[in-house]
Chain A
Amino acid sequence: MSVAVAELAASLHQIMDSDPGLLVLGPDVGAYGGRFRATRGLFETYGASRVIDLDPTPVTLVGVAVGLSQADMTPVVELEGPASLAQAASIIASEPGVGRLVLRVPTITSARADALERVRGEGHAASFSAIEGAMVVCASAHSPPSRLLEAAAARDGVTVIIEPTGLYRTPLASSSATQLGTAQVVRDGADLTLMGWGETLEVLVAAAAALASDGVHAKVIDVRCLHPLDVVTLGKVVRDSGRALVAHAAGAEALAAQVAHAAQRESFLSLEAPIETLVVEPGRESVQAVVDAATRALHY
């Protein structure tokens, strides 16, 4: 069993081997191996022409990547953080002929100030709606960054992968290939649907386990694709259970409301209770908050 960041580096090696037109760009991605060591060893193997240290300014970094993409190359960019996303979207949206392009966005989620980062990260998923074919996905323990990267490098168009850095040191069980663009059932259950993405999923899985001890079987869904939403799956799972709630980190209220709205629109006649959204942070208190919200929905 290896940690997520090591798997990410291994995936990068693999896809660079199979695609000679794939380049890795970003601040310190070269000899240093990246801020989070995700590009470790690439520089030594592929050299400075394919692993390129560039200024972290998004206008430079994303601009160069766009130019490469227009020339049929596959740039994989490690952005400095989600603060760059809005500007990245603006640059890509104004450019014609952008082909395959992957933006990896490490998002620090362990400090108090991170709520603001999330506002800029997940909250900016909608910024990419102006770009035809663009997709914004969020990694989780069930959709590891390495698998998302492999899928993104194989698809045409712009893919943004939000990578909560808390996942990087998480040991991963073996995972199969990931299909981008779809939501994923993480745990099955028929009484209630708990929806989330990124690190909030662990809270939902713990809450589902707590509910199971009281005889309530909750389904847990990894929304995973934040733009465009997989409304078919979201609608189906909510129709099946009739009750749902959306958990999200602070700062992603608009996105959570969008998920709730999409699920509600697809399942309106089957709903037994309104779909609630709630802010959760990793920890026991949040697990209890989810259990309480689930109980409210069950007794509505």
Chain B
Amino acid sequence: MGEQLDPFSASNLPDFISSQKIGRPVNFEGQTNRGHPFSGLKKRGQSSRSWVKIDQDGNSAVLELDKATIMKRCSLPSRDLRLLDPLFIYPSSILGRERAIVVSLEKIRCIITAEEVILMNARDASVVQYQSELCKRLQSNHNLNVKDDLPFEFKALELVLELSCLSLDAQVNELEMEVYPVLDELATNISTLNLEHVRRLKGRLLTLTQKVQKVCDEIEHLMDDDDDMAEMYLTEKKERAEAHASEELEDNIGEDFESSGIVSKSAPVSPVGSTSGNFGKLQRAFSSIVGSHKSLLSSSSIGENIDQLEMLLEAYFVVVDNTLSKLSSLKEYIDDTEDLINIKLGNVQNQLIQFQLLLTAATFVAAIFAAVTAVFGMNLQDSVFQNPTTFQYVLLITGIGCGFLYFGFVLYFKHKKVFPL
């Protein structure tokens, strides 16, 4: 929704506010109204925003940078930075660009480059946790000199994935622990309050399922595309660019370097272009044997490193897929409970109709008795009324007849097996 509208256009502001009011809860609506004037002020004043920078040695610093500086520093277009804007709720995404990885997962929004992580500063517990944990891991790796075989950007990415999976899994567990008691209470006492509880929990379950599904799809989408994965190797791309620059210096052709630099700044270079350009230049500089050797080495290296990132993503894809499977089981449990409650209600409804049937039979028998007494209440002259003992005979015969008729009905109903009791 936010991507289609241009939020900073003045003519679209009323439509944007009204569209926000329709589908959002009250709390978020208040936040939107409060935050929007600040956004306008920021747009006009080009004010700075607070970021946390974490470098490779685990040192963190708080920076105040404006949008243009961030765009220049990380070579990102403006629409990628909009993904990190806390005013808009974007779905989870992991984008690999030329010199940076833009990550927006759950509450952690950051830009990962080959040397540093630029983290959107917020007072949220997840962001603080990510910051301290990343600093701790980088410092421990630096001190112990443990060779984890992962570049810096993948260590940062792994921690984002780990915290996101932990957060989603905790939310699912919390929802599970709420659902089971509420469903048991609904099974014992079907009331409006319990039904409302289950309806709200199903709404929360659906929302959480969509979030987990989005993260799952994002990781799966990354794993299915080798080019997207290859583009995320920022350290290797940086080393390749440095080797390229040194070769250019050796060749002393400044014009080609300037042209290549301009192209590199304007658009992200795909690995195919980089490989072919590199190969062409190498063909001119060196002999054919060394050239083919290096090309084979480069090809082998790319294949291996894609496996490295694929292993990382696959581990967390399994975790998120397990969370999604848990939510699916929970939804199936709710549906099973509803089915059995329907059977129970049907059973109770049958019992109600049984009692109604018995009452109708009693009403029928009483109506017969009333008809007989009304017949003898008519003001017609007959010899029957001259005999005093006829009164007792009429009452006795009618009473016994009605009793036998009712008993006959009950026996007939039992015979037809409509009374399981």
Q: Do A and B come from one complex?
A: no
Binding site for A on B (CB under 8 A): none
Binding site for B on A (CB under 8 A): none
